[in-house]
Structure 1
Amino acid sequence: MDGKEVDMAVSKVISIEITDLNTKVCEISYNKKVPSVYNSICFANPEQTVEDALIEDRLRYSSELKAQLKNAGIKCKDVVFVISSNKILSREIMIPDMKEKLIESYIEGERATYFPMDISDHRLSYTVIDRNSVTKEMRIILYAAPDMVIKNYNALAAELDFHVVAMDCTGNAMYQYLSNNQASGMDMYLQINENNSLFTILENGKFALQRNMSFGACSLAEHLVDEEYYGIITPEQAMMKLAENELLYGSYSEMMEYMPATEEESKLYECKKRLTDAVRPLIAGFTRVLEYYNSKNKEATITKIYVGGCGSKIAGLAKLIMSEFEGIELEVVNVLPNVKFPKSNKLMADNSTEFMACIGGAGFSIDFSKNNAAEEKKGATAFAILAAALTILAVIVLVGVPLYNYRQAISRQEELRKSISGYQNIVDIKAQMENKESKLDDLEAFDEATITNNENWNSILEQLEIMLPTNTLVSSVSSNETGVTLVISIPTKIEAAKLLVQLRNLPIFEDVQINTLTENNDESTGIKNESFTITCVFPQKEVPIPEGGTVPADGTTQEDIDAGTGITE
């Protein structure tokens, strides 16, 4: 097992994936190549309890999860959490070939070199992709999960009296399932979930590329809820209508050519047009990923892509995507291969692809929860020593003090225990605070990125109106992020020099330069003037380095992706 030790005493687990909207649970055999799903449930999270994988209201959420498990008759206490969060970073790295037991200590020693931000408060785990016997190197997908996320899930497990077997992430869990079922031919797989889409490419069963796209099925459902065509409907009703009615055009050319003949047709056309337009972000992201992959693999030919997840059930979506990619067939996967489940489990029979992360996480998963095992072992040793010392002290107290004092001490101990239990919610409050601070940092960085030098344009024009003599002719003005260029005709060199000095005194310019002056003489009018180009340079601000964000798994930059463009958790 890559990145974790398999608990041989565990034969069955409940595998749980928590998204912002829903929770999916599988009671499933553990660490089996062909797993058996004994039971499965999916339920909507209580409102405002989960945000980007963090359980923000642990009491309400744990109560709902406990009730759902009880209603389904699921009693297993061994749990695998599959974390679905944008906070988890991933990157493909190469390290020297070494024994499995040495990998963890090696990457811990080099952790500061892998990501362009401070990850001292993250836990690392990894998956070995392959080993090169010629170069003596290993290809690894490295994952980094924030401590606050791991602690948040450990607190939830403690609340429900769960034994945490492993903590995986969605991207790796899906890769593990696809890799272990390469005989099924699903080397290129697009998973369209509620809030995002994940595109995974394998080569000979090995990881090649994985990209996360922001489009999710819920975005279409929200558009339909906002439409007036069906009246007032809930998001759940909207998803049903999207699955039962073909509300997307087969192509964008068909949408543009269609001419409604009646008022009713016009209303339906506007509804379908908005929904079809809402799919453009998915197609744009999909295009960048395919172009990037083809640029790196010029001999590769993509002919078929498999599609799953709740979005694959939207009528006409696969057809619309195919219309934009000539020669590529999209095949919707209804039932995952090599997964056993009872015929009575209709949820798995109809929606098994939606549980792919839960199924993959119960197999060869990574494990963030064991990352600090050494520290925990030291802590356990210290606790054992402390416990022994306390035992000796207790014997002395019992022998040397009256029974009354002993009872008073027991009473005081119980009071302290109750007092300590009242502070358990501090972990949740701290996690919420760190989450809000992270979002605030992102917003401030976004606001900083929107500031441009051209915001001073009105001020520049006002200053020029004051400075320029009335008989000055401005032939052209151009502006960009670096500065302003003006082509000017002015009566005399003295006035040109005066204008230069005035412009250089403006704080909005770092430098002002004039090229060679050209003297013009209009013989018909006898008017003379000086023509020249003046260049005003803005001060150059430093571009801040982002504090967070996911580095693509193959080490490419965002510029690479945008020019012709990760996973997991």
Structure 2
Amino acid sequence: MAETLNIQVGDHISMVCRMIRRGKTNQIGEHFIFQTPAGAVSDGTIANVEMFAKKLTEEIERHGLKKITDVNFCISSSKIASREAVIPKVKEKQIQSLIMTNLKDYFPMDMSGYKITYTMLGEMTGETPGYRIIIRAAQKEMLNSYVSLAKAALLRINSIECTENALFQAVKDVKMQGNVMYMNISAVRTECTFMKDGEFKLHRSFNDGGDCLLTPYMENSFIESAEYIPTCEKLLDPQQTMMDRETAEDYLSRLVSNVNRAVDFYASTTKSSVDGIVLLGPCEHLPHFREVLKDGTGVDVAYIEQLQEVAEKLGKVVEVSTFVTCFAASISPVNFIPDEYLASRKKTGLAINRGPKNVQGASEDSYTSAIIIALVCVAAGVILSLVSVLGYLDSKGQLADAEEEIEQLQPAKKTYEDYMVYSKNDEALSYVKEDARGNNAKLRKFFEECERKMPKSLLFLSAQLNSSGAVLECETSTDLKDVANVIHEFRSFTSIEVIKVSTPEVVESSAESGVPTEKFTLTVVFNDPHAQAKLAQESNAAGNTSGTTTTTDTTATTDESQAGGEKQ
């Protein structure tokens, strides 16, 4: 029976759990959380090793786990980059070298300061067989801080995992039907893993978490930062109601907005909508978050402890949602241990324990003992010689195999490079197609409302359009009541939001009737708040030229609006 400590380090909350290895299964023992010392951790990096090591050692000793020295670290950080890729079908021992050969295609930057590893997602069959993998890169500086922490706390590193992979390992065997998003919500970061019928599809993360609600609540309640953990326990207790929904919804708006963007990105990438959201993590039970998220996304939301498959897998652990990624850190971790630490550990493992030295007063059987020892040494020498010869022959055979495999891989490398070029071109075309489709839909909806609601006397003299909104120069009769009615109708449009109207100006008509008309300028946006500032500037520029003769200056889409105006 082997025992290890799984330790997940966070900027505000850190977690420890004892894992017991029995055969091929892991059992969960004691587990607890503690508040990370202020300034000790920054975005996953141990900024103050001495401070955090002291706190960690005190907590481990307080919970009676001092005798366990083997540790699996789990990191949550935005400094870990990942990218999914498809590679040719090669032997497993060749995958790492193939990734390093094409590293610039995955991460077009200087990667000398990063540790590179990968996770196997599955095998692809068909005309072009290969492997789906996730390539991950972590800053060596951050990883080395965990080596320093282990030395300061007298611990021995078994693995260094990341929360992204730990979340995937925890939920990959949960065979839920449809498109499901698993949200691991920590204090400062949220990880989102998308699965379809139990198969990994996508991962997104953003630097927003429970602190978007906890921090303003503590500030407004004048609660000291030292009371962070007790405050969390009260606010996150589903049996207590310490905050009204309106306040909670205001605090959670940014987090819900980020979730909506992740859901929209998944829909645009996979052409599939999310069927359900599963919440887990230390900040899973934020006040009213489940209801606010359900209303904001229109998707059913559940807690992970409500899933029968998860309960059966993790056993009778009350705090299953809080510790999921910490528990899963030892299932199938990525290889983020720095190479230098691995090399030094191998050297340490070769040390021989020679036992106590011989003392005076040996018995008369010492000669017999000496002869036996000599024979044993000779036999050991012969065995070592045979092992060396066999090892040499085996190495020579492996070298020949490697040279043959390298030669065989040359065509595959060329095919793979062509595939990567085609993939990039396809992604660019898809992006342009989706962008054009979305903008034309906005314009079409606007012009359809114009046809339904605007009077025949309204004339569009010119329109300056972009993907976010428009500046429209309009002309109608001189009756100010008619002008007011037109502007009122514009404000009732659902496709736009009117943000500015210029002062109407009487102009002489160029028609034979000579009847004067009222001319005014409208600035509208297609319900996109980010475009308001930009369109306001365009409106001011248009206002400065309102007294000049206007001409029709539109794109192909604007011509469609003029045709609609003539119909009216």
How does 1:170-569 map onto structure 2 within 5 Å?
170-182=163-175, 187-227=180-220, 234-239=227-232, 240-241=234-235, 243=237, 244-245=240-241, 247-249=243-245, 272=247, 275-298=248-271, 300-326=272-298, 328-334=299-305, 336-340=310-314, 348-349=317-318, 351-369=319-337, 371=339
Q: What is the alpha-carbon distance in structure 2 between the residues aligned to residue 32 and residue 189 of structure 1? A: 29
C-alpha distance 103-31 of structure 1, shift in aligned 2 (>3 A)? farther
**Matched residue count:** 343
Percent of aligned positions with the same letter in both sequences? 24
C-alpha displacement of 1:123: 0.7
Matched, 1:118 2:110: yes
After superposition, the CA RMSD in angstroms is 3.1
Which entry has the higher C-alpha Rg, 1 or 2?
Answer: 2
C-alpha displacement of 1:220: 0.6
Q: Give the counterpart of 2:123 among 128, 131, 146.
A: 131
C-alpha distance 20-130 of structure 1, shift in aligned 2 (>3 A)? same
C-alpha distance 361-29 of structure 1, shift in aligned 2 (>3 A)? same
Matched, 1:109 2:101: yes
C-alpha distance 98-376 of structure 1, shift in aligned 2 (>3 A)? farther
Q: TM-score, normalised by structure 1?
A: 0.55
Q: Give the counterpart of 1:159 among 122, 147, 152.
A: 152
C-alpha distance 177-139 of structure 1, shift in aligned 2 (>3 A)? same
Aligned to 1:169: 162
Unaligned runs of at least 5 residues, structure 2: 352-463, 467-568
Q: What is the alpha-carbon distance in structure 2 between the residues aligned to residue 109 and residue 352 of structure 1? A: 41
Q: Give the counterpart of 2:36 among 45, 63, 74.
A: 45
Q: What is the alpha-carbon distance in structure 1 between the residues aligned to residue 182 and residue 24 of structure 2? A: 19
CA offsets per residue over residues 262-307 of structure 1, 9 Å max, x none? xxxxxxxxxx2xx422211122111112122222333x35332111
Q: Which amino acid letter does the alignment assign opposite residue 323 of structure 2?
A: F
SS of 1:167 mapped into structure 2: strand
Residues 168 and 366 in structure 1, CA contact (< 8 A), matched pair in contact too: yes
Residues 35 and 340 in structure 1, CA contact (< 8 A), matched pair in contact too: no
C-alpha displacement of 1:108: 2.2
Q: What is the alpha-carbon distance in structure 2 between the residues aligned to residue 109 and residue 212 of structure 1? A: 27
SS of 1:359 mapped into structure 2: helix
C-alpha displacement of 1:246: 5.5
SS of 2:58 mapped into structure 1: helix
Unaligned runs of at least 5 residues, structure 1: 1-9, 250-254, 256-271, 385-477, 481-569
Q: Which amino acid letter does the alignment assign opposite residue 36 of structure 2?
A: N
Q: What is the alpha-carbon distance in structure 2 between the residues aligned to residue 163 and residue 185 of structure 1? A: 41
Q: What is the alpha-carbon distance in structure 2 between the residues aligned to residue 173 and residue 40 of structure 1? A: 17
Q: What is the alpha-carbon distance in structure 2 between the residues aligned to residue 63 and residue 231 of structure 1? A: 25
Aligned to 2:75: 83
Aligned to 2:26: 35
Residues 131 and 138 in structure 1, CA contact (< 8 A), matched pair in contact too: yes
Aligned to 1:418: none
C-alpha distance 368-32 of structure 1, shift in aligned 2 (>3 A)? farther
Aligned to 2:378: none
C-alpha distance 160-376 of structure 1, shift in aligned 2 (>3 A)? closer
Q: What is the alpha-carbon distance in structure 1 between the residues aligned to residue 108 and residue 170 of structure 2? A: 30
SS of 1:86 mapped into structure 2: coil
Q: What is the alpha-carbon distance in structure 1 between the residues aligned to residue 85 and residue 138 of structure 2? A: 17
Q: What is the alpha-carbon distance in structure 2 between the residues aligned to residue 184 and residue 42 of structure 1? A: 33
SS of 1:295 mapped into structure 2: helix
C-alpha displacement of 1:33: 7.3
C-alpha displacement of 1:237: 4.9
How does 1:1-12 map onto structure 2 within 5 Å?
11-12=2-3
C-alpha displacement of 1:93: 1.3
SS of 1:287 mapped into structure 2: helix
CA offsets per residue over residues 481-505 of structure 1, 9 Å max, x none? xxxxxxxxxxxxxxxxxxxxxxxxx
Residues 266 and 273 in structure 2, CA contact (< 8 A), matched pair in contact too: no
Q: What is the alpha-carbon distance in structure 1 between the residues aligned to residue 53 and residue 223 of structure 2? A: 35
Q: Which amino acid letter does the alignment assign opposite residue 356 of structure 1?
A: V
